[in-house]
């Protein structure tokens, strides 16, 4: 009987040794899965762009493009105007702003279904509506203008007027294949020397009729020429977080983001840029 009892104990011990680790491992996997699913900290936000300064309280370092942080991260805003564009693969895109105090934050849902500047530019009303506010120009763009109202030839042309270094500058805009061309590299040159475009906060689009010796003001606007390399890095973050979305969804998110953090782009200019740089 003693030998049988000892044998039974030994067998039970072997079974416990064999079965125990398997059950423990399975239990740990289940617990980990449940924790990840239930814990919102398992999600994270990726930083697209920061305006102003936002500081991680724990490290004292400033938030920058490409950072990833948990929703529970403590943040401090250097000014009330500081904000960031952030994105979550699970929750989508948000604007991070200061809450009631400098160490509290708000998550504002990003705007959706924001359109770009589009439509035929047939008359002065169309042009005035087009050239207003923060006007985003992505490098170089060509606009189709209604030539019944605004013929473009050697005696009739558009030009931009702006102040630079205490002087009023007039820049005649070229025409290519019947389209009005606005090129950053051409505009920001005086006497063939590059100038600081960031110093120019406002421009006015003018139309000249040399035969009548008249100049007509179309409208004033705030020119926004984004740093193309920086913008591409920002948009790559959005695209990488939306790998499961179709091209239309990605374009809509990009259009909304540019509107929120830069200004309103021309529809065709944006479409050409996205096709060239991202094949969208």
Burial (0-12, 13-18, 19+ Cβ within 10 Å), 198:
exposed
DSSP label at residue 11: H
pLDDT of residue 111: 75
pLDDT of residue 134: 97
Q: Which two tokens stand for residue 198?
A: 């960031």
3-class SS shares of the chain: helix, strand, coil, % to 5? 35, 35, 35
Give me the residue spans of the domains in the chain: 42-109, 114-280
Taking the chain (280 residues) in runs of 10, the rounded mean pLDDT of each run is: 39 37 37 37 88 97 97 94 95 92 78 69 95 96 95 98 95 96 94 92 98 98 96 98 94 96 96 96
266: closest CA among 146, 118, 132?
118
Phi-psi region of 78 (alpha: psi -120 to 50; beta: other; left: phi over 0): alpha
Contact 229, 198 (CB under 8 A): no
Q: Which two tokens stand for residue 116?
A: 């770009």
Residues 6+ positions from 119 with CB-CB distance below 8 Å: 126, 130
CA distances from 72 to 44, 79, 237 (A): 9, 21, 21
End-to-end CA distance of the chain: 81
Number of H helices and E strands in the chain, helices first, is 6, 18
Give the residues across from 68 on adjacent strands: 46
Phi-psi region of 94 (alpha: psi -120 to 50; beta: other; left: phi over 0): beta
The alpha carbon torsion through 115, 121, 124, 129 (nearest 10 deg) reads 10
42: closest CA among 50, 51, 33?
33
Phi-psi region of 145 (alpha: psi -120 to 50; beta: other; left: phi over 0): beta
């Amino acid at each position: 009987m003693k030998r049988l009892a000892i044998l039974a104990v030994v067998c039970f011990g072997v079974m416990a040794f064999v079965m125990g680790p398997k059950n423990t491992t399975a239990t740990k996997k289940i617990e980990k899965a449940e924790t990840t699913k239930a814990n919102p900290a398992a999600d994270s936000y990726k930083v697209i762009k920061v305006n102003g300064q936002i500081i991680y309280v724990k490290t004292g370092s400033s938030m920058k493009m490409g950072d990833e942080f948990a929703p529970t991260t403590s943040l401090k805003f250097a000014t009330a105007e500081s904000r960031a564009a952030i994105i979550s693969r699970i929750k989508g895109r948000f604007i991070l702003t200061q809450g009631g105090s400098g160490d509290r934050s708000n998550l504002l849902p990003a705007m959706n279904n924001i359109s770009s500047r589009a439509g035929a530019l047939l008359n002065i009303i169309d042009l005035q509506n087009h050239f207003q506010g923060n006007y985003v120009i992505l490098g170089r763009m060509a606009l189709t203008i209604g030539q019944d109202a605004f013929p473009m030839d050697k005696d009739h042309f558009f030009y931009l007027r702006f102040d630079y270094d205490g002087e009023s500058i007039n820049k005649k805009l070229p025409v290519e294949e019947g389209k009005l061309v606005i090129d950053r590299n051409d505009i920001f040159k005086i006497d063939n020397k590059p100038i600081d475009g960031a110093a120019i906060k406002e421009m006015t689009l003018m139309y000249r009729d040399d035969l009548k010796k008249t100049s007509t003001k179309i409208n004033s606007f705030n020119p926004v020429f984004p740093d193309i390399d920086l913008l591409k890095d920002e948009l790559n973050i959005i695209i990488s977080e939306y790998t499961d979305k179709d091209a239309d969804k990605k374009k809509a998110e990009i259009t909304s983001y540019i509107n929120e953090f830069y200004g309103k782009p021309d529809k065709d200019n944006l479409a050409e840029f996205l096709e060239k740089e991202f094949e969208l």
